[in-house]
Amino acid sequence: MITAFKPSSEPIIHPNVSLASHTSYRVGGKAQWYTAPRNFEQLQETFEWFQKQDIPLVLLGAGSNLLISDRGIDGLVLSTRYLRHRRFDEATGQVTVAAGKPIVGVAWQAAKLGWSGLEWAVGIPGTVGGAVVMNAGAHNQCTADSLVSAVVVSPDGKVETLTPEDLNYSYRTSALQGGKRLVIEATFQLQTGFTREEITAKTQDNLWKRKSSQPYDKPSCGSVFRNPSPYAAGWLIEQLGLKGYRVGDAEVSQRHANFILNCGQAKAQDIFHLINHIQEKVQSHWSLLLEPEVKILGEFSAAS
């Protein structure tokens, strides 16, 4: 039985909240319960409530790497979107950032200071917390290259500071994936001594490369599949003539085949069926199973 949440001030946990506006795909049903704490005290209060319930916990950042079922999600969805403090330490060249801060914003702030190390992140649509969890990367660099430490908290209130070694990083994955520990902030080591013009130019060039090769005009989750080394997932899909293939309003991008776009009124189920169709075609032709990079949450019907 779920206990009603009755805080002393304004509510921070809300029932039956639509998640479509909280994901970059703009699809998905409702969260049974939803919260977006604005500080660590509210986060602690949320976990105190959660510990009294017998429900699942789902962690949400910017929602840029998620496909949420049209049927919604049972349990508590906890978003870090309002945890956004950041601090640049000129003495050490380190920047400490809250989990909900968009990593693209941190990349631009570092560039304006002439600090190098996050230029690769300028086109990443997610948050700092999401980047830490999935070891986000681009342009042959990734989160693990500059991460010093990450502070995480468990629903029981235990706070830990983890190193990259603790996180067991590899390609687009870490020890935090699939777990219930929430990243609340991360510290990165950057290189100082450059001019603002140097780093800004490099950052802008990286952004131009992404925009010239990837679609940004319609809702998507970014890259749908992990690259099965030594191949690029987009190349494998393109060779099968699947660019432009649609299920409902879900379409394989004409610009980059590893992107699935919401071309208007796509349902999460349409995107799910398209993911399955691509996997089946690649498996049949190349004998390779494409592993989704997008996290799929909730219940979906089997592809017909």
Q: Is 220 a catalytic residue?
A: no
Residue 169 dihedral angles phi and psi, to the nearest 5°? -65, 145
Say whether 223 is catalytic. yes
**Catalytic residue, candidates 149, 172, 220, 251:** 172
Q: Is 172 a catalytic residue?
A: yes
Q: Which residues pair with residue 183 across a beta bridge?
A: 152
CA distance 37 to 55: 19
Q: What DSSP element (H or E) covers 211?
A: helix 196-213
- The one catalytic residue among 149, 223, 251, 253: 223
Give the count of alpha carbons within 13 A of 252, CB side only.
Answer: 24
Q: Which residue has the tokens 């902030």?
A: 185
Angle between helices 196-213 and 103-113 (to 10 degrees): 150
CA–CA distance, 97 with 85 (Å, rounded to integer): 6
The amino acid occupying position 66 is L
Report the SS3 class of residue 38. coil
Separation in Å, CA 115 to CA 1, 6, 52, 80: 51, 45, 45, 26
Annotated catalytic residue, options 45, 185, 251, 293: 293
Residues tagged active-site: 172, 223, 293
